[in-house]
Chains A and B, each alone.
Chain A
């Protein structure tokens, strides 16, 4: 073995000695340089891909954004903003309905797995819920429109007959059951596992000491959960809900296949006059679209991207803030 500490060529004498920087690899070790270069390149490639996503959507969407509103009106879909607004409403409305149903259930499931189910069963039960996340969206779409929609019709009729005074349930009940409510149920099923798994993780992170302190004061299990688990987990729950919202906003197939929506802005959820979501609008029209219509749909995609981006950013921000002060990580 060589007794030399330096590699060839020998260090130039008389040069001022720089403090060796630990971060930098030895430039004379080719393997190191190449490997590090590849790793770095991959990371930068990701940045490039994301930039490309934004750029290409802008390029291909801009004709619709810049086109003369009169020309768009002549083609039958009006100025871009006016055209897209009902779909923005539909997107948000469907997602909000879905979350209203999914969040309480998800928190319940997460709590069941983390604090109620027997220890040994906790992990398998978690897998079962994860299975829901594994089902492809097109299968949920198929299920929602062919099985769920007919099945919920009696419920819709009942809600309309007995709670019809609430604007939500008013109006003429749809004959097919394929309404925004049904779509929202399917969406709720799809975001359920996401919210559940995040909440479960946060619940499990509750400091044991807090829980034991509550129990030692004579709290029942539910009081312990209220006293120590929920306060600790609140930011985590909010973040999970926001991430679920991001997913629900961008989910395409459930809405595309269940809903026959139009450009309606309505809060009635049982009628056959339904709003449509941006994603569904794109999926339903893109295959047959050409020319300016394609550009318009791509621009709508850009709008969807921006909405989900904002929602996800807020979620990440909450997570980051929580990590900073809770000391849980």
Chain B
């Protein structure tokens, strides 16, 4: 507070400011010192250099700002540094994951990988075509169940049930469902099938049930949000033309929101397509292609990655290479779905807001 009253006491509008070049100069200098120290004492450890550089930058800026600009500005600059640092810190794992997946996955990113299964393969070679098919079956069936249920529920919540008790309890339980751990969804599907068909039954469809439990709440939440964005004026305009409510929903509300709905659905598929734990439980493992999702275990890409990693045969490297290629494929699929989803949301959005 003393600083504030001092500032107020003098009427000057100017005060000490660090020149603009201070930030880049100190940043580069700290980084160089960090690298120098790291290479002298720790054999050029990059992480150490970065950490040292960051700490040095913090200290140098703190001192410079305190001397020239005062304590308040110094703490403001410290906050800026820390906040920016947090963002850069988050980029590290992202960059590292991407780099590892690409550099290690590219080795087996070949034709065999996408045309062969693991049937009768020990050691090098083979591929993940059985797992890719499995992922398509399992995710496809899950979408087939989740999209209608999720979409219709969202329509009920936003169009019919606004504020009534049933709608409130559905909203509540959708929230609860969002929080179900994925492995519990897998256990549920397994338990259900165990009681319906027989203990130990595993199939692609069991996995779809597990994924549906995870996917439905995502579809409901995103669709409901989008449907609520459709201006009431459009519904009123339609009612005023003597159009019944259900036709208004089908012909006006849904078409107006369609790009958002599709984008939400694609993002929800992207969300579950990489799920591993529930499929591990409900769909199991197999080395060969299974084209019947309703019987016998079915391999899926995430489980293939896990299995290759966790149960390598004698030729560990060959299994781990396949795992990395699987990881790369998964990342590509998920990124592609995300990209498509966002593009659709942006490109085809009707101009609602004026």
Contacts and interface: CB of A to CB of B under 8 A. Distances in A.
Complex A–B touching at CB under 8 A: yes
A185 B50 CA distance: 18
Interface in B255-274: 270, 273-274
A312 B323 CA distance: 33
A136 B302 contact: yes
A235 interface: no
B90 A105 contact: yes
Contact of A43 (B84, B156, B190): B156
Given A139-B305, A251-B181, A105 B89 contact: yes
Contact of A131 (B75, B94, B284, B320): B94
Contact of B277 (A105, A112, A253): A253
Interface in A274-327: 279, 282-283, 286-287, 290, 294, 297-298, 301-302, 304-305, 308-309, 311-313, 316
B216 A143 contact: no
A233 to B, nearest CB: 14
A287 B188 contact: no
Given A112-B87, A282-B183, A46 B220 contact: yes
A165 interface: no
Given A135-B331, A146-B320, A57 B191 contact: yes
Interface string A30-61: 01101110111111111101101100110111
Closest 9 CB pairs of A and B: A136-B274, A250-B181, A108-B86, A42-B152, A312-B179, A252-B277, A39-B156, A60-B191, A222-B79
B293 to A, nearest CB: 19
A40 B90 contact: no
Interface string A104-142: 111111011100110000000101111110111111111
Contact of B169 (A47, A61, A107): A47
Contacts of B178: 312
- The A interface is mostly helix, strand or loop, or mixed, namely helix
B99 to A, nearest CB: 9
B176 interface: yes
B162 to A, nearest CB: 10
B149 A45 contact: yes
A300 to B, nearest CB: 9
15 contacts: A40-B166, A56-B195, A57-B191, A109-B90, A111-B86, A132-B93, A135-B334, A139-B331, A146-B309, A222-B76, A282-B187, A287-B284, A301-B183, A308-B181, A309-B176
Interface residues of B, number: 103
Contact of B188 (A52, A146, A313): A52
Contact of A136 (B78, B150, B276): B276
Contacts of A34: 246
Contacts, number: 283
A303 B259 CA distance: 40
B183 A53 contact: no
B159 interface: yes
Interface string B240-251: 000011110110
Contacts of A246: 179
Given A105-B90, A312-B175, 14 more contacts: A25-B246, A43-B152, A46-B173, A49-B216, A50-B177, A138-B303, A143-B327, A223-B72, A252-B276, A256-B277, A290-B200, A298-B187, A311-B179, A316-B172
Nearest to B304: A138
Given A136-B302, A316-B175, A39 B100 contact: no
Nearest to B217: A46
A108 B85 contact: yes
A286 B188 contact: no
B188 A138 contact: no
Nearest to B89: A105
Interface string B62-101: 0000000000110110111011111101110110110011
B121 interface: no
A221 interface: yes
A228 to B, nearest CB: 14
Given A136-B334, A316-B175, A223 B274 contact: no
B331 A46 contact: no
B90 A279 contact: no
A249 interface: yes
Contacts of A189: 93
A145 interface: yes
A192 interface: yes
Contacts of B273: 136
Interface in A224-266: 225, 243, 246, 249-253, 256-257
B348 interface: no
Interface in B221-256: 244-247, 249-250
B183 A137 contact: no
A46 B170 contact: yes
Contact of B97 (A106, A129, A135): A135
